[in-house]
Structure 1
Amino acid sequence: MSCSLTLSHASFVLPEGRTLLEDLTFSLGPGRHGVVGDNGSGKSTLLRLLTGALPPTTGTVQVHGRLAHLQQTRAPGAATVADVLGVTPALAALGRIEAGSVDPADYELIGDDWDLPDRVERWLDRVGLAGLETTRPIEAVSGGEATLLRLAGLMLADPEVLLLDEPTNDLDRPARHRLEQIVDDFTGVLVVVSHDRGLLEHMQHIGEVRCRQVRWFGGPFSAWARSVELEQDAAHRAVSAARADVRRQRQDLVDQQTKQAHRDRQGRANAGSLPKIVAGAYQRRAEVSAGRLRGMHEDRLAASRSALESAQDRVRDDRRIRVDLPDTRVPARREVLRAVGVVPAHGTDRPFDLDLRGPERIALVGRNGAGKSSLLRALLGLQAPRAGRVEVHVPWRYLPQGVDLLDPGLSVLENVRRAVPGADPARVRAQLARFLFRGGSVDQVTGTLSGGERWRATLASLLLATPAPQLLVLDEPTNDLDLASIAHLAEALESYRGALLVVSHDESFLADLDLDRTLTVP
């Protein structure tokens, strides 16, 4: 398959004048290419440049091969499954022909694609949606099923270049594994933007979008992570060496100035015994020599400072969230939550029982549409179940899917103080420092924060709340988070002493949580 993606000196400048991507030059051939980077770094913009939907400000983008792009949003205007698959006109034409139509337009629409119904059936089966009627309204399809349908629709077009933007969002475990199989079997140019470490482990190359550039690494996610770790070790050593050199050059300059001051005093003492014209000549030569020597030491100091700045630029901001949350502690045998025979308002019809005691960490997993989110709301009394009863005996906090807890018009400090009314502002500032908000950053308006900063502020408002939450309930918390934000979430939960109930399809994230139990919602 002769297909490729090529960028030549491509840049993209946002309308407000900020350069998002700068002078990108690379070519991608057949293979599996993963793209990672912080939220806002330009990953989705890069995909739009590659599709041609967004022209570069400067430079060129060339695509060789049939291209398909899976975006994060649903297909606009789609009313049925067939609409999402992009086969409504062709299936309608086939139906008319089977009913006796001889309209040339119908035959032209079909072309050579007479086996379209069979191919639709095969791809629906491939993505785990076998038997789904093409006339089914799209409103009756879950978010994960809609993603799988859009992927099946792309694959029906037999693409040679396939671009996927966060394809595992909303997918359950079986669906993720089916996607991984499709990815492994694809023989063209595949570019995947994702924060899913499991999916990224199937990549053959990883491109990191950082500081307006895209840098490519060979191997899957684990190889990229190891490369970054080794680079950072070397960068920290380089910073230490550069700091030592700055200290050495600064001391050399001080020593030179001290010696020169001593020579100047000695020269003035000796000048009295010399003729004035001779003494003046000696003094001028001494001043020139001293100036040259001082300039040499100052140049060396400036060079060492420049080397230090360069070394510091190579060090990533890998600060960790370290927060002490003693008030969230739950005694080992204390009853936190008890559910008996709960049937959520949507999803499964099977009764659900749960006896959660002490600082247990429990994951709820299950297929898309099983009703996991509805079950969480029922357990917290936020939605009436169809049956059963629930008792919650401790203060709790809940983070639903896709819900922003912060007021974008307030500062970080003001948002967190809403969760801890009456708290001393100085104490809240000290606590926010543990969430990496220091100095003036606590007064920054939340609406101007980056995605990662906003997530840290959300964590702070959850975990610092009054009364301290002894039960924390999270519904798909890693959806839409970049890798750094997922790491910060895991770090914060390391410090959390209470009970944890989390719904997630992210197996790598769940593995980081030191879970006590994993329960399946049928």
Structure 2
Amino acid sequence: MATAPCHLIAEHLHFAWPGQAPLIPDLSFDLGPGLHWLVGDEGCGKTTLLRLLGGELVPGGGRLCANGHWLDASPTDYRAQVAWVNVQGEAHDAISAAAFLDSMASHFPRFSAEALADMVDGLALAPHLDKPLYMLSTGSRRKVALAAALASGQPLTLIDQPFAALDGGSIRFLREVFADLADHPTRTWVVADFEAPAGAASTIHLPGR
């Protein structure tokens, strides 16, 4: 059976931190399959928007729909469509990179072992797989999260600042991966960064505050 194209829909999305001016005052879009860049300056709300899209934060107004599931109507079904992976906190420090990736394979029902092997190779992660996450550099931890997200197989994948703290070889590899994803017929990726690569087909600009 053919897989239906994933769409990410935002209708008049609004978010403000308590006691502050709206960070996202009114945002609407309909993103179909392929790769979409979310760009803007430091502090404009890129990471906050990804957390909203991932179902981690609750919007102050508006609605979100991922792959046909509305967040307000069915939060569990909505979040089941999304890969939003973060290993920069302390929650996973004690486990190895390999154990973390194994847990992601159990968490995401569409996880691809073949895609993970490609990510481990392309990001030069193999020497670090047996190390606990607390021993990894910021760049290597980011690589672990990228490998998990890109192998997740989820209809919607969210990635924050993919090139930060990475070595040149990994950056080149990721650019090739993203170029391959740009025209994917069914899955949707939203990647946040300060600017989009030259020739990016779909870009959402967040204004500065």
* TM norm. shorter chain > 0.5: yes
Cα pair distance change 1:173/1:49, threshold 3 Å: same
- Structure scoring higher RCO (CA < 8 A, sep ≥ 6) equals 2
**Aligned-residue CA RMSD (Å):** 3.0
- Determine whether 1:61 maps to 2:64: yes
Instruction: Work out the CA distance in 2 between the residues paired with 1:125 and 1:52.
Output: 31
| Secondary structure at 2:140 match in 1 | helix
How many Å apart are 1:53 and its aligned residue?
1.0
The answer as to whether partners of 1:124 and 1:132 remain within 8 angstroms in 2 is no
Structure 2 equivalent of residue 126 of structure 1: 122
Distance 1:128 1:211, change over 3 A: closer
Map Cα deviations across residues 375-414 of structure 1 (whole Å, 9 max, x no partner). Answer: xxxxxxxxxxxxxxxxxxxxxxxxxxxxxxxxxxxxxxxx
Q: How does 1:320-339 map to 2 (within 5 A)?
A: none
Give % identity. Answer: 27
Q: Which residue of 2 aligns with 1:85?
A: 101
The answer to whether the aligner puts 1:25 opposite 2:25 as a matched pair is: no
The aligned residue for residue 442 of structure 1 is none
**TM-score, structure 2 length as denominator?**
0.76
Give the match's secondary structure for 1:61.
Answer: strand
**Paired letter, 2:120:** L
Q: Counterpart amino acid of 2:22?
A: T
Q: How does 1:74-473 map to 2 (within 5 A)?
A: 74=89, 76-78=91-93, 79-87=95-103, 116=113, 120-129=116-125, 131-132=126-127, 134-186=129-181, 187=184, 188-195=187-194, 197=195, 200-201=197-198, 203-210=200-207
What secondary structure does 2:44 align onto?
coil
Match for 2:148: what amino acid?
A: G
CA shift at 1:120, angstroms?
4.3
Please give the alpha-carbon distance, in whole angstroms, between the structure 1 residues aligned to 2:148 and 2:43. 28
Deviations 1:279-330 (A, max 9, x none): xxxxxxxxxxxxxxxxxxxxxxxxxxxxxxxxxxxxxxxxxxxxxxxxxxxx
1 CA distance for matches of 2:152 and 2:172? 22
In 2 relative to 1, CA 89–53 (structure 1 residues): closer, same or farther, beyond 3 Å? closer
Q: Distance in 2 between matches of 1:82 and 1:206?
A: 34
Q: Which runs of 5+ in 2 are unaligned?
A: 68-79
* Deviation per residue, 1:450-487 (Å, 9 max, x gap): xxxxxxxxxxxxxxxxxxxxxxxxxxxxxxxxxxxxxx
> Aligned pair in 2 of structure 1 residues 166, 70: CA closer, same or farther (>3 Å)?
farther
Classify the secondary structure of the residue corresponding to 2:189: strand
Structure-2 change in CA distance of 1:119 and 1:165 (3 Å): closer
1:17 CA displacement: 4.1
Q: Indicate yes or no: 2:39 matched with 1:40.
A: no
* Count, aligned residues: 188
Letter in 2 for 1:30: P
For residues 90 and 148 of structure 2, the distance between their equivalents in structure 1, rounded to whole angstroms, comes to 11
Tell whether the 8 Å contact from 2:52 to 2:59 is kept in structure 1 after alignment.
yes
| 8 A contact 2:96–2:133 mirrored in 1 | yes
1:122/1:23 CA distance change after superposition, 3 Å? closer
Equivalents in 1 of 2:61, 2:102: separation in Å? 33
Is the CA contact 1:72–1:167 (under 8 Å) kept in the aligned structure 2?
Answer: no
CA distance, structure 2, for counterparts of residue 75 and residue 148 of structure 1:
16
**TM-score, reference length from structure 1:** 0.33
Instruction: Provide closer, same or farther for how the CA distance between residues 170 and 28 of structure 1 changes in structure 2, counting only shifts above 3 A.
Output: same
Amino acid at match of 1:87: S
**1:72–1:165 Cα contact (<8 Å) kept:** no
1:38 Cα deviation from its structure 2 partner = 2.3
Change (3 A) 1:127 1:160: farther
Task: Check the 8 A contact 1:84/1:150 in 2, yes or no.
Answer: no
